[in-house]
Amino acid sequence: MPIRHLSPSEAHARQRAGVLLIDVRGAHERALGMAEGALGIVREDLQADPATHLPDIDAEVLLLCQRGMRSRQLAEFLEARGYRNVASVEGGTEAWDAAGLPMRRADVDADFGERYSRHLRLPDVGLAGQKALEAARVLLVGAGGLGSPAAYYLAAAGIGTLRIADDDAVDRSNLQRQILHADARIGMPKVESAAIALSALNPRTRIEAVRERVASDNVERLLDGIDVVIDGADNFPARYLLNDACVKLRKPLVYGAVHRFEGQASVFDAGRHRGEAPCYRCLFPEPPPADAAPNCAEAGVLGVLPGVIGLLQATEAIKLLLGIGEPLRGRLLQFDALSMRFRETRLHADPQCPVCAPDSAFPGYVDYAAFCAGGG
């Protein structure tokens, strides 16, 4: 016997006559809006134990999903188990809504629902997760090669506030890899150029443009109110300062670095996990002298390489904010673009680390700029 299909209008008429209408979508989908009066039961739960949810195999039941496919498959499943009065609503919730039938709406505006629709359909994100991203505040130090892709994807993902700190201006040589910027904005401060590009992409994201270089006298102000810090800096003084401040202030630090054809990324979260997770100084206790660490201008870098690493950093930041997956905490992910290979190295907390050892007092900030120049 073929499965009975009803149009949304026919299903609504049967519902008004007292027939049970069940929305079989996931909770994250239903949170965005569902047919008024429908009962929400996830398809997998119905399949696992239909008798508990539908004890009367002769009762009329209408099934509704997003577009009609899942409800039809579930109706076939139930019919094979003896249910003879099950119908699927053609076109699902989308057709129900398009027909102007009553809906119980989510407490979000149309732009939010449409802009983040693919996130909202992910069970691990959903409405609650997307609202958490919208409430999040991320500090991005550096609006260059790493900061460009990270900022683009964080803004696109719906991060509520991006604080971007950089004291440099756009140069033509930047454009080979720093995709936030454009030829027409050469000479403009990078943070202003970044704000223009990101606001055009997602006007919902608030951009705090800070034209400053991170230093010991401003690092805590830059981290104030921040949930996650992304290291997009191209120098060791900034990197060590960020690490020390993140340990002291208990902020997760998403690290990235590139050199020629190779890059690496990790998450340093020692401030919140003392003695368990390492900090950057567990890996590199002291910064090298300036002549031992050439920057991109001196050594060169493949233009697409920062895109790969910056993308990884944005991914880790989003995972940390949502509390999902396994972050790169205690792991250093290394990427070789020439061989197209990733390699992972396990990292361990140094019990003698002067910054993050469990019982050590914070030693204070070092003038790393002077140290790297030979004055430390």
Give residue-wise pLDDT tens across range 126-135. Answer: 999 999 999 9
pLDDT band at 51 (very low <50, low <70, confident <90, very high): very high
Q: How far is Cα 89 from Cα 272, in angstroms, rounded to an integer? A: 49
Residue 375 has pLDDT above 90, yes or no: no
Q: Is residue 240 part of a domain?
A: yes
Higher pLDDT pick, 215 / 234: 215
Q: Is residue 113 part of a domain?
A: no
The residue out of 60, 82, 107 marking a domain boundary is 107
- The pLDDT score that the predictor gives to residue 360 is 85
Which neighbouring-strand residues pair with 21? 62
- The pLDDT score that the predictor gives to residue 310 is 98
- Same domain assignment for residues 94 and 132: no
Pick the closest to residue 369 from 220, 280, 238, 279 (CA basis): 238
- Same domain assignment for residues 146 and 285: yes
Residue 374 has pLDDT above 80, yes or no: no
- Same domain assignment for residues 134 and 249: yes
- The pLDDT score that the predictor gives to residue 106 is 79
- The pLDDT score that the predictor gives to residue 308 is 98
- The pLDDT score that the predictor gives to residue 110 is 81
- The pLDDT score that the predictor gives to residue 292 is 58
Q: How far is Cα 375 from Cα 366, in angstroms, rounded to an integer? A: 11
- End-to-end CA, the chain: 84
Q: Judging by DSSP bridges, how do beta strands 206-210 and 161-165 pair with one another? A: parallel
Pick from 207-211, 245-249, 298-302, 311-315: least confident: 298-302
- The pLDDT score that the predictor gives to residue 298 is 64
Q: How far is Cα 66 from Cα 255, in angstroms, rounded to an integer? A: 40
- The pLDDT score that the predictor gives to residue 153 is 98
Q: Which residue type is seen at 318?
A: I
The residue out of 57, 79, 107 marking a domain boundary is 107
- Same domain assignment for residues 78 and 196: no
Contact (Cβ atoms closer than 8 angstroms) between residue 356 and residue 278: yes
- Same domain assignment for residues 85 and 193: no
- Same domain assignment for residues 318 and 360: yes
Q: What is the CATH number of the domain that holds 322?
A: 3.40.50.720
- The pLDDT score that the predictor gives to residue 145 is 96
Q: What is the CATH number of the domain that holds 18?
A: 3.40.250.10
Average pLDDT over residues 91-120: 91
- The pLDDT score that the predictor gives to residue 344 is 97
For the chain, what is the domain count? Answer: 2
Report the percentage of the chain scoring pLDDT > 70.
95
- Same domain assignment for residues 169 and 269: yes
The residue out of 85, 107, 129 marking a domain boundary is 107
- Same domain assignment for residues 101 and 142: no
What residues contact residue 171 under an 8 Å CB cut-off, 6+ apart?
Answer: 186
Average pLDDT over residues 168-194: 97
Whole-number mean pLDDT of the chain? 93
Q: Is residue 114 part of a domain?
A: no
pLDDT band at 373 (very low <50, low <70, confident <90, very high): low
- The pLDDT score that the predictor gives to residue 376 is 40
Dihedral over Cα of 344, 348, 352, 354: its sign: positive
Average pLDDT over residues 67-72: 96
CB atoms within 10 A of CB 187: 10
- Same domain assignment for residues 69 and 149: no
- Same domain assignment for residues 149 and 241: yes
Contact (Cβ atoms closer than 8 angstroms) between residue 87 and residue 11: yes
Higher pLDDT pick, 266 / 370: 266
Q: How far is Cα 118 from Cα 184, in angstroms, rounded to an integer? A: 33
Q: How far is Cα 104 from Cα 2, in angstroms, rounded to an integer? A: 31
- Same domain assignment for residues 125 and 203: yes
Average pLDDT over residues 160-180: 97
pLDDT band at 289 (very low <50, low <70, confident <90, very high): low
pLDDT band at 293 (very low <50, low <70, confident <90, very high): low
- The pLDDT score that the predictor gives to residue 1 is 62
Residue 19 has pLDDT above 50, yes or no: yes
Domain with 231 in it: 119-375
Q: Is residue 112 part of a domain?
A: no
